Chain A
Amino acid sequence: MRYMLLIYGEETQQDEGASGAAPEIPPAWMEYTNWLLKRGIHSAGEQLAPSSSATTVRVRDANRLVTDGPFTETKEVLGGYYIVECDNLDEALEAAARCPGALYGSIEVRPIIGMAAPDTLRASNAAG
């Protein structure tokens, strides 16, 4: 099963200024990504630009409503994510606990609902 590790944390001034030029990946994060890869559970992962760069879109009564900033005003914002492929929640929690973000922020672990492709559906119907 795939799990998304959503990395929440308070943004530092440094983060704010970091948008623009490609930042260097801090060693702890590099190490962590390598650990996930070595374990064979790494599926995807990206860091997000600071929340000051976020724009939110809503559609209400067919009207598009664009506002600046993240969806909610909280101190902890989503800063990045990983997607890991694990057998069960305990494995995903272990991966989350090793994430450098867990040391200053928090990691929300959410299972990803696997949508069966139409081909797969047909195949299983035929089998039954």
Chain B
Amino acid sequence: MTEPKPASEPQPRRGEPRPSAQINAAIELAYRDAYGSVLATLIRFLGGDFDAAEEALADAFAAALETWQRDGIPATPAAWLTTAARNRALDRIRRDRRQAEKLATLERELTVAEVAPMQLGTEGGLEDDRLRLIFTCCHPALPPDARIALTLRTLGGLTTPEIARAFLVREATLAQRLVRAKRKIREARIPYRVPRAEELPERLDSVLATIYLVFNEGYLASSGEAAVRNELCAEAIRLAAIVADLLPDVPETHGLLALLLLQDSRREARVAADGSIALLEEQDRTRWDRAEIGRGLAALDRGFAAAAGQSHASVGRYLLQASIAAEHARTLDGRSTDWRAIATLYEALSRIDPSPIVELNRAVAIAQADGPAAGLTLLDDLAARGELASYHLLPAARADLLRRLGRLPEAAAEYERALALSDNDAERRFLQRRLAETRG
């Protein structure tokens, strides 16, 4: 097979090769922008064979280095890469005589749906394939940690070592996880398709949860390199934006995007100078990323607009959590926060998704709206039920309210209890600082 030659491709300029730096930059850009979508298309072409698709795409990137240097950067790098990778995959299959039958099938299918290089690059097709890919990677038949790894590896184009580093697991462990997931897709025949409407709610839950876990790993995790963690947050936002873009009628897709943007906008302000976690009320809100807040609020509006167009109640947990984050984002001084509204939102959230953590947050909001005594009553109820016995934020929240009520010895005891339960360095520094103040 010959390399694809888009009509707009510049003539070969053998005499004056472009500087390699320019080619490298173009390839990096193509990798960043198109890896996931090109791979998604290839997997479909290859009947759901993830490994063959990944191998072929790696070959195509290697070929691009040489060909683009010689012939110039194609007008649509994604289309060039797709065609080049497809040709390479077919070559590979041809060489493997035992797969003769498979080749015949593929060639038949490809002839039927013969796709010109330029058409491969049209947005519609690629978008559809990216949805197929993310729904397959996040299939509930795969274990959650495999969903995350596979999504980051395929759609995100992160390398196995990068993902291993971000999740603090050994590279071999992560590679094994990916191999097992791909084997299950193949052996159990998990279909490469977008779920039907009646399956969509369940399946979309899994996709959104996977993206949220990627973000949380970057945002909350207790250790690891900051740069890698920021990369995870950025990747999660990118994935959420893709899903919101591809399923604009589903309110929760915008809800998740809004939530991630609004949380991420506080990232810089979240860590104090000494490396400890700065609580929301202590954060320097001038360091909140206003542009990101703007994008988050816009996504939130799109989510509520989509929800308004639906007959049944479709304001889900992500829209509600994003609304809570938006209440904070809207007040630059932090003093005019509408805690009453926040408490109401937590109440709505606990109806959809009851959990002691949501109740804890609601108690904290009530404490802000009605005073520490009212919040403490709710926290005491929660503590009496013993559900959060090993969760450090419960004693930390009780300590804070006791401190504000002037009950310092009790507060100190609670800070100590929280310290014993926390293994997050930044949080421990914060708790120690407060403990010292209380004893002061």
Chain A residues in the interface with B (C-beta under 8 A): 1, 87-90, 93, 109, 111, 124, 127-128
Contacts and interface: CB of A to CB of B under 8 A. Distances in A.
Contacts of B139: 89
B191 A88 contact: yes
A89 B191 contact: yes
Interface in B188-204: 188-191, 193, 195, 199
A11 to B, nearest CB: 27
A111 B188 CA distance: 5
A127 B101 contact: yes
B101 A87 contact: no
B109 to A, nearest CB: 16
B100 A88 contact: no
B188 A89 contact: yes
B405 interface: no
Contact of B101 (A1, A88, A90, A124): A124
B101 A89 contact: no
Contact of B98 (A1, A87, A88, A128): A128
Contact of B190 (A88, A127, A128): A88
A124 B100 CA distance: 8
B217 to A, nearest CB: 27
A1 B189 contact: yes
- Secondary structure class of chain B's binding surface, majority of residues: loop
Given A1-B189, A111-B187, A111-B189, A90 B199 contact: yes
Contacts of A127: 100-101
A128 B100 contact: yes
B97 interface: yes
Given A88-B190, A90-B193, A111-B188, 14 more contacts: A87-B189, A87-B191, A88-B191, A89-B139, A89-B141, A89-B188, A89-B190, A90-B190, A90-B195, A90-B199, A93-B141, A109-B188, A128-B98, A128-B100
Interface string B165-209: 000000000000000000000011111010100010000000000
A128 B97 contact: yes
A89 B139 CA distance: 10
Contacts of B100: 124, 127-128
Residue among A89, A93, A127 having the largest count of chain B Cβ atoms under 10 Å: A89
Contacts of A1: 189
Nearest to A93: B141
A93 B199 CA distance: 11
A88 B190 CA distance: 6
Contacts of A89: 139, 141, 188-191
5 contacts: A87-B191, A89-B188, A90-B199, A109-B188, A127-B101
Nearest to A124: B101
A80 to B, nearest CB: 21
Interface string B62-98: 0000000000000000000000000000000000011
Nearest to A111: B188
Contacts of A128: 97-98, 100-101
Interface in B296-349: none
Contacts of A93: 141
A89 B189 CA distance: 6
Contacts of A90: 190-191, 193, 195, 199
Contact of A88 (B97, B189, B199): B189
B25 to A, nearest CB: 41
A13 to B, nearest CB: 34
